[in-house]
Amino acid sequence: MNNISNKAAIVGIGFSGFSKDSGKTELHMICECIKAALDDAGLVPPDIDGIVKHSDDATDEHSVTSSRGMGNLTYFGENRWNGAPCAMVLRAAIGVTTAAANYVVIYRAVNEASKRRMRGSSRNMAQLDTGDLLQWTYHAPFGLVSEAGRVAMIVRRYMHEYSINSDQFGWVTTVCREHGAKNPDGIFYGKPITMKDYLESRIIVDPIRELDCHEETDGAIALIITTAEKAEKLKQKPVYIRGATQSQVAGTEERKGFYRPAISDLPEMKHMGERLFAMAGVNPRDIKVAQLDDSFAPLVPMQLEELGFCDRGEGTAFCDGGNRIRVGGELPLNTSGGCLGEGHIYGVNHVLEAVRQIRGTSSAQVSDADLVLVASGAGGSTSGLILGGSR
Amino acid sequence: MVMEYIPGIPILRPYIDLDNQGFWDAVKQHKLVFQKCKDCGLFVHRPRPMCPRCLSTAKEWVPSEGKGKVYCWVNFVYANAAYPGIKVPYPVVVVELTEGVRMISNVHGVSQEEIYIGMPVEVVYDDVADDLTLPKFKKQEV
């Protein structure tokens, strides 16, 4: 396959501490993160000539560029929706491999916990959801408004078709919090939970419990991408982009599809995985660690099935007891804690953690973590990466 | 039980355009219609400008029997994850109509404990505002 595989690499990372109240503006946080990422890579601000951001981010490339003393940009743009994190890396890789830019920074900065709350008022909810007015038309008047509600709908059907009890999803959160408890930068450092905690947590949208849901977080992350050749001359061990793709299929709706023949699966994720493994020239059993979309815990077993780590309907059994998905198991998941155990930086923290795993600097390090899969945007517009320590 | 919309908080309204106006106009007159392709006969919901199967733009609004089954359901319990203008708890259902299309709606007259996947339902009309009617469902009388 003629593609960008192995032609670009992540060379710098910078991140704020994750918290419930950053005490800073998003712009402040992201300026610090970009500085940290430049220092990490051994670059200076004028080296950056490309920026890829998230369309929901409160900051823009103009204010970021002028605040950071960067030079002239030749490449900039943004990605949308929950599937943006890996897609932003893809976009950056396209930029550097086509020589549209030399060094591209991607970033995400959110004050979701302290200021820009997504939930709790009709105004904010309308702002959040009107990105897809036509889908909104058939959901919102009936009260189907929150992401928890839309996820609950596909999860109910998944439970129905595969005879799954919602208690079984608790292992995902328990293991993510176990990993997050080891992560000094996360909001749940030193705070693991037990299955008993999970089972006692309140229902949010039946069948979704509170401990199935990501934790609202303040924080920011910046990553710098360049070509593989340039990467090999910089400070850090390059983290090569072995595979990168977005995925949308017939019937994909941004906020979960309810009109296609089945709603109990994630066809975008299946399509994404097939393409990703082909690009990277590897298969699921080669993957040492995976950072999956855990914005809601039940999405994790569904992704394990779609990505070929287990058979259809076997995802919850794979997670049962946690031994196969914790560090030391056959496929450790979300080793920073992910959105459930580290913080909700909308899945960009999953890309960050994949880099730390390959560098060998994770707080829950997996030995020989030379191939890491990242997935974002389960159930809607999806994207994914396979990152590697060699090419 | 009936969905209780809380006075003073605006009801979230459909975004009506040239492609879906027929659906909402019919609902206002207490009729349920679906878009049907004039060429291949496929029923389509949500309404779209072009048939996703045969790519025809020739389409018509065809009355629905208004009957179907609950395909899936959830129950909004926690207010911060629900719409503030509707009293919690409130269930939301996906109904699969006999025409083969699905729609999001609510079920009136039953408690959440009584809702199950496969439950037969039929359409009722909820005049939620002077100028807005929503198609809802009730348990089908056998």
Asked, for residue A342, whether it belongs to a domain, the answer is: no
* pLDDT band of A253, cuts 50, 70, 90: confident
Number of domains composing chain B: 1
Asked, for residue A371, whether it belongs to a domain, the answer is: no
Query: A7-32 pLDDT, tens per residue?
Result: 999 999 999 989 999 999 999 999 99
Residue A143 to residue B76, Cβ atoms within 8 A? yes
Phi and psi (nearest 5°) for A294? -115, 35
Average pLDDT of span A250-264:
83
pLDDT of A2: 60
CA distances from A130 to A116, A127, A140 (A): 16, 6, 10
Which CATH number goes with the domain that contains A73?
A: 3.40.47.10
pLDDT per residue, tens digit, chain B (142 aa), is 678 999 999 888 898 889 999 999 999 999 999 999 999 999 999 899 999 999 999 999 999 999 999 999 999 999 999 999 999 999 999 999 999 999 999 999 999 899 999 999 999 999 999 999 999 999 998 7
Asked, for residue B54, whether it belongs to a domain, the answer is: yes
Tell me which chain B residue has its CA closest to the CA of residue A251. B52
Please give the residue that has the higher pLDDT: either A251 or A295: A295
- Residues in chain B closer than 8 A to A127 (CB atoms): none
Whether the predicted pLDDT of A123 surpasses 80: no
pLDDT of B134: 97
Residue A140 to residue B82, Cβ atoms within 8 A? no
In degrees to the nearest 10, what's the CA dihedral of B60, B63, B66, B68? Answer: -50
Q: What is the pTM of this model?
A: 0.95
Q: How far apart are CA A272 and CA A261, in angstroms?
A: 19
Nearest partner of A162 among A380, A333, A318, judged by Cα: A318
Asked, for residue B4, whether it belongs to a domain, the answer is: no
* pLDDT band of A121, cuts 50, 70, 90: very low
pLDDT of A251: 82
pLDDT of A293: 98
Asked, for residue A77, whether it belongs to a domain, the answer is: yes
Whether the predicted pLDDT of A298 surpasses 80: yes
pLDDT of A1: 54
Percent of chain A with pLDDT over 90: 82
pLDDT of A116: 52
Asked, for residue B51, whether it belongs to a domain, the answer is: yes
* pLDDT band of A61, cuts 50, 70, 90: confident
Range of lowest pLDDT (A113-127, A259-273, B113-127): A113-127
pLDDT of A3: 85
Asked, for residue A68, whether it belongs to a domain, the answer is: yes
- Residues in chain A closer than 8 A to B14 (CB atoms): 136-138, 140-141
Whether the predicted pLDDT of A301 surpasses 70: yes
Asked, for residue A288, whether it belongs to a domain, the answer is: no
pLDDT of A132: 60
* pLDDT band of A127, cuts 50, 70, 90: very low
Q: How far apart are CA A370 and CA A240, in angstroms?
A: 10
Residue B76 to residue A157, Cβ atoms within 8 A? no
Asked, for residue A82, whether it belongs to a domain, the answer is: yes
- Residues in chain A closer than 8 A to B76 (CB atoms): 143, 146, 149, 205
Q: Which pair of tokens denotes residue B38? A: 């004039």
What is the 8-class DSSP label of residue A75? Answer: E
Residue range of the domain that includes B38: 21-139
Residue A210 to residue B52, Cβ atoms within 8 A? no
Residue range of the domain that includes A80: 8-114+218-229
Q: How far apart are CA A5 and CA A240, in angstroms?
A: 8
- Residues in chain B closer than 8 A to A201 (CB atoms): none
pLDDT of A120: 36
Please give the residue that has the higher pLDDT: either B119 or A66: B119
Query: A130-172 pLDDT, tens per residue?
Result: 446 666 789 989 999 888 999 999 999 999 999 999 999 999 9
What average pLDDT does the structure give for chain A? 92
Number of domains composing chain A: 1
Beta bridge partners, A218, equal: A19, A111
> What DSSP assignment string belongs to A310-377?
S-TT-HHHHHTTSTTTSTTSSS-B-TT-HHHHT--STTHHHHHHHHHHHHT--TTPPTT--EEEEEE-
